């Protein structure tokens, strides 16, 4: 008999067959505590193994680069170590308590997106906990039939990473919000989703026929024939609309008043560059190079970076590719680099200041970018400039001693390619030398407790004009 369960309107419409994900119970919470030194050693061994797993996964999915950051954050390790030493807990119990404390910090933020990152924290801790308990990883989604709608209490990135989305029609979870991982992955993959469906785990069984109406926030279980025909017609109409949109995706963006607008995409890897261009982007306005640095156990060498930048540049062709040099620090850490604690790390040793303090790191990245510029319209952005001195230091090619060795290897790099340099200026820094810039990106950081939220205000101007045309861009 047909019935409907309400959820939070999320994305799309789908018709399919339910697969209800049942989790295996874990014995981690009841693990007996041993010697504190031994427990701390067990935790760190599991943590290092989790980092190795995440490093491998980060090569294919940017979300796992963020998980690698979380696993490498000294705050998590410090909380676990403190509980083991002070409360004589097992590594599993200490990890569980530390996870809840970190999730509580995120949940207390007044930003919906960051509150949704509790899913990521729990996923990282679950990975470490699985390794601690000796559980073997398994794939519950192996062998899904085409047109499957996955129903779960919640789905973590490590769950969706195992899914074959050519067989998944939609996702339904009992918990979550429109900014949770499930909602984001559904939009990225172009499938239907419904979150916050309380009771779905009790009322839905594997094999049930389901309809997701992500627009109205409804999950229809065992639809009658008339309802099935109605949604089949809606799906066909949506497919036709998608076909028309795809056909128009490469057309210029022009307002009804006739104003031409350039639409650029943001990307963190070559696959995201490809998807943005396929969707109609006229280039890449921000390529976040830091994700290259998060995908391995050490700094990427010049050849690794060159291969990624070249691939992105060749995809863009004559269209612009703006690569932001390493923006690390603040809320972005590297597991193999140590950052001293700072009262305000978002405005401290980060971004361009890290590059200037580590000239060989900076030189390696710039060499890779200059070499890649021979294969496309590459532009370089220096992040978080806070002073005229930093601008001058970053802008001085003689200080970096780059031309001669690169020109010797490939003369075309410097004679046949033009690299436009852009500058990302911290809020509160007045661009007194604006006449020297063709492009500025003005970033403002907002702070919520121990974490900051960032937004960018971009200003374009030429010559000595004092009036900026600006718009907001969130990162």
Per-residue pLDDT of 1-42, as tens digits, reads: 899 999 999 889 999 999 999 876 655 555 667 789 999 999
Does the pLDDT of residue 392 top 90, yes or no? no
Is the pTM of the predicted complex or chain greater than 0.85? no
pLDDT in tens, 327-385: 877 656 676 776 676 666 666 777 888 888 888 999 999 999 999 999 999 998 888 88
The residue with greater pLDDT, 258 or 400, is 258
Confidence of residue 302 (pLDDT cuts 50, 70, 90): very high
Q: What is the pLDDT of residues 419-454, one digit of tens each?
A: 455 555 555 455 555 445 444 554 443 333 333 323
Q: Encode pLDDT of 56-67 as tens digits.
A: 887 667 678 788
CA-closest candidate to residue 334, choices 74, 16, 14? 74
Among 161-170, 439-448, 451-460, the range of highest mean pLDDT = 161-170
Q: Output the DSSP codes for 308-365.
A: HHHHHHHHHTTSEEEEEPP--BTTB--TTS-----SSGGGSS-THHHHHHSHHHHHHH
Q: How do 377-385 and 13-20 pair as beta strands?
A: unpaired
The closest of 148, 83, 156, 173 to 118, measured between CA atoms, is: 156
Q: Determine how many CB atoms are found less than 10 A away from the CB of residue 348.
A: 16
Q: What is the mean pLDDT of the chain?
A: 79
pLDDT at 403 over 50: no
């Amino acid at each position: 008999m047909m019935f409907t369960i309400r959820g939070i309107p999320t994305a799309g419409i789908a018709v399919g067959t339910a697969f209800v994900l049942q989790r295996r119970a874990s014995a981690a919470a009841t693990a007996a505590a041993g010697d504190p030194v031994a427990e701390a050693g067990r935790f760190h061994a599991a943590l290092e193994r989790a980092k190795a797993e995440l490093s491998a996964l980060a090569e294919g999915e940017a979300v796992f680069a963020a998980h690698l950051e979380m696993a490498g954050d000294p705050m998590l390790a410090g909380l676990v170590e403190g509980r083991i030493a002070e409360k004589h807990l097992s590594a599993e119990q200490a990890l569980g308590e530390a996870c809840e404390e970190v999730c509580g910090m995120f949940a207390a933020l007044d930003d919906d997106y960051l509150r949704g990152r509790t899913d990521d924290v729990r996923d990282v801790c679950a990975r470490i906990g699985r390794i601690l308990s000796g559980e073997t990883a398994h794939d519950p989604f192996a062998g899904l039939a085409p047109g499957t709608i996955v129903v779960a209490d919640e789905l973590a990135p490590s769950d969706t990473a195992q899914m074959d989305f050519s067989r998944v029609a939609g996702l339904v979870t009992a918990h979550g919000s429109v900014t949770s991982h499930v909602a984001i992955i559904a939009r990225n993959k172009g499938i239907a989703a419904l979150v916050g469906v309380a009771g779905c785990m009790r009322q839905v069984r594997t094999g049930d026929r389901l309809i997701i109406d992500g627009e109205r926030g409804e999950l229809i279980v065992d639809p009658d024939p008339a309802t099935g025909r109605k949604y089949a017609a809606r799906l066909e109409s949506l497919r036709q609309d998608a076909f028309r949109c795809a056909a128009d995706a490469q057309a210029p963006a022009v307002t009804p008043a006739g104003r031409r607008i350039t639409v650029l995409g943001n990307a963190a890897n070559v696959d995201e560059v490809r998807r943005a261009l396929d969707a109609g982007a006229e280039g890449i306005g921000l390529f976040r190079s830091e994700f290259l640095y998060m995908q391995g156990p050490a700094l990427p060498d010049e050849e690794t970076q060159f291969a990624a930048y070249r691939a992105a540049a060749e995809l863009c062709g004559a269209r612009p590719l703006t690569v932001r040099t390493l923006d690390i620090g603040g809320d972005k850490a590297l597991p193999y680099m140590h950052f001293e604690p700072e009262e305000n790390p978002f405005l401290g040793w980060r971004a361009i200041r890290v590059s200037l303090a580590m000239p060989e790191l900076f030189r390696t990245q710039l060499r890779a970018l200059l070499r890649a510029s021979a294969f496309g319209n590459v532009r370089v952005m220096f992040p978080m400039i806070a002073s005229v001195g930093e601008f001058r230091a970053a802008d001085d090619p003689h200080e970096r001693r780059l031309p001669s060795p690169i020109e010797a290897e490939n003369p075309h790099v410097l004679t046949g390619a033009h690299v436009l340099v852009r500058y990302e200026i911290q809020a509160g820094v007045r661009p007194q030398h604006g006449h020297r810039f063709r492009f500025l990106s003005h970033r403002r950081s907002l702070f919520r407790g121990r974490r900051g939220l960032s937004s960018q205000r971009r200003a374009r101007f030429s010559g000595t004009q004092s009036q900026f045309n600006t718009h907001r861009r969130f990162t």
